[in-house]
Amino acid sequence: MAKALVIGNWKMNLDYVEAVHLTQQVAALLASRPAERVDVALAPPFVDLRSVTSVLEAERSLVTVAAQHVSDRDNGAFTGEVSVAMLKRLGITWVIVGHSERRTMYHMDDASVADTLKAVLRGGLNAVLCVGEDLATREAENHESFVNHQLVSALSGVEEFAERVTVAYEPIWAIGTGVTATTGQVDAMMAAMRLQLASLGFSSSRVLYGGSVNADNAAEIVTEAGVDGFLVGGASLKAESFGAIIHACDDCYAERR
């Protein structure tokens, strides 16, 4: 059975005490109402990773853990950086690569995204590659070619790892703004991306949507826009809204277009 994937990207929120609390709440929520068609992951800040994996282990939860970023280097004199091997040792499953906040605020260019993706995949972890256009690119109607270029740039040369790659389409203008892309916009982009992904050898990759997803719009997006799940920011910081998104996916994924 194909499963959807819902990842909660906590960004730079929640210290380790708060992280433990929210993880316990999410694990309890899924224990009381399992979501059989959905893989669930939490992406806390680096300093919370150990606590979150420990709670999930203790609860025997199926929820997995993602890091929000990683170095493209193996080890050495890179002050402030964290390596793929360090994450692997902690029991981390996924790494988010090339989130638009890293691209725009921390000068992560396409080459750096590609290098980081390679490091993650060669190091044995799963990657969630983020792509998406800004508002000016959308208004100029260049969004499909822009995203296609991001896919080609990141994914060329890593076809052998295709089964460990998930892609998230996150239009920058919809992230944290409360403005969700319409289901028509998401659906059109999904179709364009799946064509491009197939031509690159990634036809089996799950394609997620991210950008102001919440408990009220999740079901409609899954049903109408042919997504394989969500990368959720703000709404993942409360167990109730994150749980509602997971259960909307669970209810609607089989019926999606």
Q: What is the 3-state secondary structure (H, E, C) of 100-131?
A: HHHHHHCCCCHHHHHHHHHHHHHCCCEEEEEE
Among 210, 218, 239, 250, binds ligand PGA (CB under 6 A): 210
Catalytic choice (99, 133, 143, 247): 99
Among 98, 132, 229, 233, binds ligand PGA (CB under 6 A): 233
Among 176, 191, 195, 203, binds ligand PGA (CB under 6 A): 176
Closest CA to 95 of 64, 67, 124, 53: 67
45 binds ligand PGA (CB under 6 A): no
Q: Which residues contact 198 (CB under 8 A, 6 or more apart)?
A: none
Helix, strand, coil shares, percent, the chain, to 5? 50, 15, 35
CB of 74 to ligand PGA, least distance (A): 27
Contacts with ligand PGA, 58-97, as mask; x by CB under 6 A: ----------------------------------------
Q: Which of residues 129-148 bind ligand PGA (CB under 6 A)?
A: none
Cross-strand bridge partners of residue 38: 4
Catalytic choice (133, 144, 170, 247): 170
CB of 219 to ligand PGA, least distance (A): 16
232 binds ligand PGA (CB under 6 A): yes
CB of 91 to ligand PGA, least distance (A): 22
Q: Which residue is nearest to ligand PGA (CB)?
A: 233
Among 4, 6, 8, 9, binds ligand PGA (CB under 6 A): 9
**Does residue 170 have an active-site annotation?**
yes
CB of 211 to ligand PGA, least distance (A): 5
The span of 22-30, 154-162, 190-198, 233-241 binding ligand PGA (CB under 6 A) equals 233-241
Which pair of tokens denotes residue 125?
Answer: 């972890």
Pairing of strands 64-67, 94-97: parallel
**Does residue 99 have an active-site annotation?**
yes
Closest CA to 249 of 221, 237, 239: 221
Which pair of tokens denotes residue 257?
Answer: 């277009």
Which pair of tokens denotes residue 181?
Answer: 């892309």
Q: Hey, which bits of the chain come out as E strands? A: 4-9, 38-43, 64-67, 94-97, 126-131, 165-169, 207-210, 229-232
The span of 14-22, 28-36, 77-85, 211-219 binding ligand PGA (CB under 6 A) equals 211-219
170 binds ligand PGA (CB under 6 A): yes
Q: Which residues contact 60 (CB under 8 A, 6 or more apart)?
A: none
Residues that bind ligand PGA in the complex, under the rule CB under 6 A: 9, 170, 175-176, 210-213, 231-235
